Amino acid sequence: MIRINLLPRAQAKGAVQGPNVHLEAAIGLAAVLVTIGACLVYSSMLDGELTAKQLEEQDKKKQLVALTEKIKQVQDFEQKKKLLEDMNRVIDDLEKSRTGPVHVMDYVSQSADPLKLWIVRFNMKGKDVEMEGRALTNDDVVEFVNNLRRTNYFTNIRLAETRSGTEAKVTLYQFRVNLAVKG
C-alpha cells in the first residue's frame, strides 16, 4: 500500500518560503485604511457641496420672496394705474357731455337769434337732438331750419312737424325739429 503525505514538508533551509501572512494582512489593512480615507474625503467633499447647495437654495428663496414682493407691487401699481385711467376716461366723458349740450345750445341760439321763436323742449341723447318750439310766423321756422343747416355743426336736420295754434289770442306756429350733431 502506498502512503501519501498531504502535510507540508519541512522546508529546507534557504528555500523559498510561502506567503507571509503578516505582510499580506498589513497590505490588506493599508488598502482598507486608504479606502476608508478616500471615502471620508469624498464624503466631506459631498458635505461641502451639500452645504453650498443649501446656502444657494436659501439665497434663491430670499430672492424669490423679494421678487414676489416686487411682482405684487407691480400688480398693485398696474391696478391703480388702470383705476386712474378709468377715472380719467370717466372725467373726459363727463367733460365732453358737459360741454356737448352747451355747444349745441349755443349753435341753436345763434341760429334762432334774429328770429321771433323760442324753444320749449330740448332733448339730447348722445348725438341725436330733438327740439320743440314756437314761432310767431311759419317763415321764422323755415329760416331757423335753414340757419341750422348753415352752421355745419349739425347733420340730418329734419323739420318733423309744424302746425299753427292759438295761445292767449295770438297765432303761434308750433314746430318740432330732429337733428344730429356732427362728429
Tens digit of each residue's pLDDT, the chain (183 residues): 777 777 666 554 444 555 688 889 999 999 999 999 999 999 999 999 999 999 999 999 999 999 999 999 999 999 999 999 999 998 887 777 665 677 788 878 888 777 788 889 988 888 888 999 999 888 988 998 898 888 888 889 898 888 888 888 888 899 999 999 886
Residue 88 confidence (pLDDT): 92
166-169-174 Cα angle (round to 5): 25
Residue 99 confidence (pLDDT): 58
Q: Is 14 helix (H, G, I), strand (E, B) or coil?
A: coil
Q: List, as own/partner pairs, every contact residues 163-167 make where C-beta atoms lie below 8 angstroms and the sequence separation is at least 24, other chains included.
A: 164/138, 167/134
The Cα–Cα gap between 95 and 92 comes to: 5
Residue 106 confidence (pLDDT): 80
Residue 70 confidence (pLDDT): 94
Judge contact between 151 and 111, C-beta under 8 A.
yes
Q: For the chain, which residues make up each domain, given as ranges?
A: 28-111, 115-181
Distance between alpha carbon 166 and the CA centroid of its chain, in Å? 63
Residue 19 confidence (pLDDT): 67
Residue 71 confidence (pLDDT): 95
Of the options 3.20.20, 1.10.3470, 3.30.70, 3.30.1360, the CATH number for the domain spanning 115-181? 3.30.1360
Residue 67 confidence (pLDDT): 95
Residue 17 confidence (pLDDT): 58
Q: What is the largest CA-CA distance in the chain?
A: 174
pTM: 0.48
CB-based contacts of 163, cutoff 8 Å, min separation 6: 173, 174
Angle, in degrees to the nearest 10, between helices 138-150 and 21-111: 140
Residue 9 confidence (pLDDT): 63
Neighbours of 148 (CB within 10 A): 21
